[in-house]
Amino acid sequence: MSESGKSHLGHVLGRWKDILKHLHAQSKEHKELASFLTDSSDGGFINRYNRQVLDIHIVAYYLMPETTLNDIQNESAAIPIGFERQIKAFFHRHSSSDEHYRRLWHQFNCFRTQQPPFEAERQCWEEFKDPYLFWRLRLGLANSLTTITIRLFSALVNSVASE
């Protein structure tokens, strides 16, 4: 969460997706944007994106309850394979054992599909716009994922190395 309390690591990927969408729309009128978007040199969009969007941002984005609900409502719960690999790599790096990793991955998938202990009827989903509060309400259930997620949503956005 930022010092204002309204920004957190989960917003970074969404903002970059919005920037990309805007640039694509503008590239129809401004042809030079098309080369900026596809240029992989230091000055191109891809390089800037890769420097700024880390796996921690992708993990936080997909751990936002609002993202999960939007994906379920839009029937697009599938995470792009590249992002899935980054999420798995993040969980591996932050696991104490293979068993802990498997538990994190299982709990993550239960969250993304609203399976126990994340059923749609649970009170925590009423707090879907506040990821920190949502995950605080999950303490005691899915502790492996909840513990790491609370840490993610407690971090100041500008405290991450890329920012």
As given in the structure block, the two tokens for residue 85 are 């690999």
Question: Higher model confidence: residue 40 or residue 91?
Answer: 91
pLDDT recorded at residue 77? 67
Residue range 124-130: mean pLDDT, rounded: 95
Question: Higher model confidence: residue 55 or residue 24?
Answer: 55
Is the Cβ–Cβ distance between 158 and 57 less than 8 Å?
no
Kindly list the domain boundaries of the chain, sorted by start residue. Answer: 10-159
- The model's pLDDT over 65-114, given as tens digits with 9 standing for 90+, comes to 999 999 998 887 689 999 999 999 999 999 999 999 999 999 999 999 99
Beta strands in the chain, from DSSP E residues, in sequence order: none
